[in-house]
Structure 1
């Protein structure tokens, strides 16, 4: 796909030639907006990093922000996509059909084989289009796969029509929840987006906790003990490790793992694992999300569930977050309570360490979100380094890595509210560093 050479972002970028020659971009700061035009009465209510990756040539591909401008009563979504290439050493616009409203981007941890790709999707009443963006030789490429709504499947000689209700994207994977137009029964399908072939997981056949409509109705281990729950379900995430696909179903505020072995075709529901989505947080007056998420650990094949069961208040003090580390079979290995965060956005794995990113309000600019990074040694669960970056209304929004073992930290400012006649810049930074054997950053590029 051709790449436009005109700059679409207002900003500056400085990259060292010597660093680029080593395929290591150590630090950069990108200003993604200049002065807000005073004659337009709008507020900018979001600036969020969706996903950032780096390929082996040192090119960075970033879906950096979904921005909404509230002009009088009209809301205008705007998506910003950018590429930083090794050859050009600057920002260039991403020419892609993804520049659409309401795009959903898969932000969770990549598998190592997909570390340099960005998966996203767009849903309409016609179906789901899955996009796969990647960089090669300083060029951006885009592949698409379409999943039709109201698709038909032949079962025992009868043809049933399936209407898509929900879905969740993974790295090269998609989990789709449908409802039969005939008997309203729920169905769960998984697919590798390269071939588009749908494989059904019949929940009622592999677990007595699902009734004949595939609605959960049974006992479930939760953070509050074993509970009797009757509830429909959603989809939280989908991951693959060694040909085993794990789908996390969302049942109220609980996460229920379902696994399918692609070699043996064995399917199972894992009810003994206690995973939570936590309480809901109003991070910003325009956005509400749960405190909990599940993250895939690509080096070990395990998972991290992190959440807070505390009901949010307006206080600026940190919340306690529970971190639980599971192996690839969802057996609990260890756990720890974190006490330095107001909110946690992302968790990544680097060899024997976990890197946790989010924001705090009790350090840096007091009362404002400030980016915070914490490194934990997996074998002991000891904290080896905590870094707070004094940046008003900033957060560690995303943590990634590349195959050389470098860690990619994406810092953004999603909590700024721009008002008429206000001259404020929102700052996004990409920092790439390495973790030493003692669990600290090699170059400590977060301190200027």
Structure 2
């Protein structure tokens, strides 16, 4: 039996729980432990959601790391697509040419025009293949765009060869960092993935904080005060709103915004607004992440930055997380300290509200990860609802949306560890709901 068929059919089941209210549905996927082949024992230890989206017809497309197999001291991750059709009573396999075990999926919030798509990529020594998956009328579609490694560009009569080092996808764009084969100078390019045309961002030309090698070297106003920093940089994310592309460069644990106006070709580095990637988060040896991230707000065009210094408040107690709300020009608008999260996985916007998802250990099953969802009014920054779902080793892993303001909440188990206790189930839930005028879920399907 093929592994993919076993995962999608043998291990994955959908409950028949449907809700009759308009535009609401409760879906539940149960994933249990078992054997893929009789001669290879394994333990299911991971069920992380990369991304889940819903289209206007109601079809749901999800890409998740369904399992990690331990066999003969080797762990092999397997990523799987799953599709729930608009009838919401079956999962069908995705017809795709992607080698989905080796692709990287980008969880960045999409723009409203791309809210129903999943962008992923595969990077080899030949270059980057960008995949765009989406659903239409209960059928899945796949578009591809290829960016060649070691590509050549002509400048002042000379031809330079660029080797790709890093890249990020978001909002239908790709940001690529290259290094010149000739003088090792770093370069930043952006491109709309539908046309593949590269636009170079000359960092040293638009900011004195970058030297002639485009390496950051200067003073930076960080969350810990002014610091003198000299370092290479990475790419945290790329976003687009109203023909303005914003690329967040990762400078140590600081997020430095660079903006490109596609209409005027004007480029600028915004040193007055430095976001934070937080502190290094390592709860166990299988998961290494930063406590901070930046999320795009598709309705307002702004951004949210969440991060924590991870100073413990007590055993299994929530960390203090800072939430900062920025407009589309990276001007700080509001900020708030969040006190209920042990870790934040995702933040989304539903018109006038922010929806924050992650897990806590101080509520639900005490000492275990329990999914937590919190809704905040953007104008007042007041918490209008907090929901904790008692579920061992679960988290709100991803929050999606559509143009009407509906939200899609995906609960999964990003880490379960080697579990000898068979009573701990591997459960994933996908729930669609709406936020009412009081900032609460209309149907609160988590509790049904």
- Fold shared by both chains (TM-score > 0.5): yes
Partner in structure 2 of residue 33 of structure 1: 32
Larger RCO: Structure 1 or Structure 2 (Cα < 8 Å, ≥ 6 residues apart)?
1
Secondary structure in 1 matching 2:204 = helix
Q: By how many angstroms is 1:73 displaced?
A: 2.6
2:209 maps to 1:212: no
Partner in structure 1 of residue 49 of structure 2: 49
Q: By how many angstroms is 1:225 displaced?
A: 1.0
Partner in structure 2 of residue 391 of structure 1: 391
CA distance in 1, matches of 2:163, 2:209: 24
1:45 and 1:286 in contact (8 A); partners too = no
1:40-439 aligned within 5 A: 40-87=40-87, 89-311=89-311, 315-419=315-419, 422=422, 424-439=424-439
CA distance in 1, matches of 2:9, 2:267: 47
CA distance in 1, matches of 2:331, 2:404: 29
CA distance in 1, matches of 2:9, 2:234: 37
CA distance in 1, matches of 2:421, 2:375: 40
Deviation sequence 1:32-53 (CA, Å, 0-9, x none)? 3343579745443321001111
Secondary structure in 2 matching 1:446 = helix
1:25 and 1:58 in contact (8 A); partners too = no
Secondary structure in 2 matching 1:379 = coil
Secondary structure in 2 matching 1:209 = coil
2:408 and 2:431 in contact (8 A); partners too = yes
1:9 and 1:32 in contact (8 A); partners too = no
TM-score normalised per structure 1: 0.94
Q: By how many angstroms is 1:405 displaced?
A: 1.5
CA distance in 1, matches of 2:59, 2:197: 32
Against the structure 1 CA distance between its residues 433 and 418, is the aligned structure 2 distance closer, same or farther, given a 3 Å change threshold?
Answer: same
Q: Which moved more, 1:169-178 or 1:416-425?
A: 416-425
Q: Which moved more, 1:162-171 or 1:78-87?
A: 78-87
1:12-27 aligned within 5 A: 12-15=13-16, 19=20, 24-27=23-26
Against the structure 1 CA distance between its residues 378 and 90, is the aligned structure 2 distance closer, same or farther, given a 3 Å change threshold?
Answer: same
Against the structure 1 CA distance between its residues 97 and 314, is the aligned structure 2 distance closer, same or farther, given a 3 Å change threshold?
Answer: farther
Deviation sequence 1:279-322 (CA, Å, 0-9, x none)? 11124431100000000001110000000012569931100000
TM-score normalised per structure 2: 0.94
Secondary structure in 2 matching 1:50 = strand
1:120 and 1:130 in contact (8 A); partners too = yes
RMSD, matched Cα: 2.1
CA distance in 2, matches of 1:410, 1:135: 18
2:96 and 2:142 in contact (8 A); partners too = yes
Q: Which moved more, 1:359-368 or 1:64-73?
A: 64-73
2:38 maps to 1:11: no
CA distance in 2, matches of 1:95, 1:197: 28
Q: By how many angstroms is 1:226 displaced?
A: 1.3
Q: Which moved more, 1:58-67 or 1:362-371?
A: 58-67
2:33 and 2:44 in contact (8 A); partners too = no
Against the structure 1 CA distance between its residues 100 and 370, is the aligned structure 2 distance closer, same or farther, given a 3 Å change threshold?
Answer: same
CA distance in 1, matches of 2:49, 2:377: 26
CA distance in 1, matches of 2:300, 2:230: 34
Q: Which runs of 5+ in 2 are unaligned?
A: none
Q: Which moved more, 1:322-331 or 1:423-432?
A: 423-432
Q: By how many angstroms is 1:13 displaced?
A: 2.0
Secondary structure in 2 matching 1:340 = coil
Q: By how many angstroms is 1:398 displaced?
A: 0.3
CA distance in 2, matches of 1:247, 1:109: 14
Q: By how many angstroms is 1:419 displaced?
A: 4.5
Against the structure 1 CA distance between its residues 421 and 377, is the aligned structure 2 distance closer, same or farther, given a 3 Å change threshold?
Answer: closer
Q: Which moved more, 1:85-94 or 1:248-257?
A: 85-94
Deviation sequence 1:329-376 (CA, Å, 0-9, x none)? 000001000010000000011111100000000000010000001111
Q: By how many angstroms is 1:82 displaced?
A: 0.5
CA distance in 2, matches of 1:407, 1:331: 26
CA distance in 1, matches of 2:390, 2:111: 32
